[in-house]
Structure 1
Amino acid sequence: MGGVGVALVLAVSACGGPGQTAEPSEPVDSSTATSEEPASVLAGVDPCQLLTDGEARELGLEAPGQRRDISKTLSCRFRVAGDGPGQLAVSASPDRALDELNFSGGDVQDTEVAGKKAKIVRGATADICTVAIAVSPTESVSADGNIGGDVEAGCRLAEQAAPLVLANLSK
């Protein structure tokens, strides 16, 4: 066989015969494969839109809420309607996972909200009760109830608001 014939035989044998698939000669490094980062769940979110005016009123809150961001946390505060003391803060943390939130000094209880991993935190910040929810591996939202020093009343408000906030996030 001439040089061309040998090269053709080698090329055909490397590809396998009929019905056979060729195997790569070197292992494929999956770490170099390109993968797109998942889109941010909280990209472009206005925390004041995570609770509708109607929902806020049903919870006994004034609507609309007032936007008040703190550092990289997007936040909206809804005051308790009438003369009662208190508020509900709805916050979105686009750069902090649930497990990265600081709840030191509070009573932390693991829970779920609408099938999502969550935490109820009593008293990490004064008399506030927080329901924080993981919305992605790197992002979280929370509802913080503060009702005039009554932690349990704050928890009731936060627990009522949390599933509404989560439902509005997906709209």
Structure 2
Amino acid sequence: MPRTPRLFLLLPALALLAACGQGGQAASGENTVHTVPPPPAAPSTAPPANQGGLDPCTLLTSAERSTAGLTSVGEPKAIGSARTCDWTEPGTFGLAISVDGSKGLTDLRTEKKTAKQIKVGAREALKVADPKADDGTCAVLLGAGESASVQIDVSNTNFTGTEAACARADKVAGLVEPKLP
């Protein structure tokens, strides 16, 4: 085998070694340390402090989503000052979980005729639905500390079945409640 091809294999290595010796470094046997600056920090995805660190899209595990009839991962959104996670089951229902770090349960406005005080676990809550209208919507509002709340909204696609929407909202509220501060 001719020696020329081997020389071509050594040339890149020699060029690399020669480049390392440049830049005013001592040519003696001293050890040199090369420092590489750290990569720029990635933008933080942590929720703002006023929202208690709750990410609405992580309040349900995949097993819990399945229990609630959800087949996909939720889509993060913002509604006003609240962080929201929105799930849509095409042709069936939609579910949204919103975390509002600026309004506690007592700060939320609800119509007296459609809001009912309930307990979810040991937590005070409100259920907002109008069974007489049977519009297929229901919400459960949970306090999450003195100045924060979590809202679970269910809307049936066909705009009927308020009782079924409330059963789903109750189920989801029961799954979320133990994770709240």
Question: TM-score when scaled to structure 1?
Answer: 0.67
1:61 aligns with: 70
* Conserved? CA contact 2:136–2:164, under 8 Å: no
Structure index of larger Rg: 2
Query: Which of 92, 96, 100 pairs up with 1:93?
Result: 100
Cα offset, 1:127, TM superposition:
4.0
Report the secondary structure of 1:136's partner residue.
coil
Identical pairs, percent: 28
2: CA distance between counterparts of 1:106 and 1:74? 27
* Conserved? CA contact 2:51–2:102, under 8 Å: no
Query: Which of 77, 81, 100 pairs up with 2:86?
Result: 77
Cα offset, 1:59, TM superposition:
1.4
2: CA distance between counterparts of 1:63 and 1:167? 22
* Conserved? CA contact 1:67–1:77, under 8 Å: yes
Report the secondary structure of 1:68's partner residue.
strand
Q: AA paired with 1:43?
A: G
Cα offset, 1:163, TM superposition:
1.6
Cα offset, 1:78, TM superposition:
1.6
CA RMSD of aligned residues (A): 2.2
Question: TM-score when scaled to structure 2?
Answer: 0.64
Cα offset, 1:156, TM superposition:
0.6
2: CA distance between counterparts of 1:117 and 1:105? 16
Residue ranges of structure 1 left out of the alignment (5+ in a row)? 1-39
Alignment of 1:168 with 2:179, yes or no, is yes
Instruction: State the Cα deviation string for residues 80-135 of structure 1 (Å, max 9, x = none).
Output: 3xx532111111110001121122375111011110110110049x6420110112
Give structure 1 regions of 4+ aligned residues with deviation exceeding 4 angstroms. none
Residues paired across the two proteins, number: 128
Query: Which of 121, 128, 144 pairs up with 1:135?
Result: 144
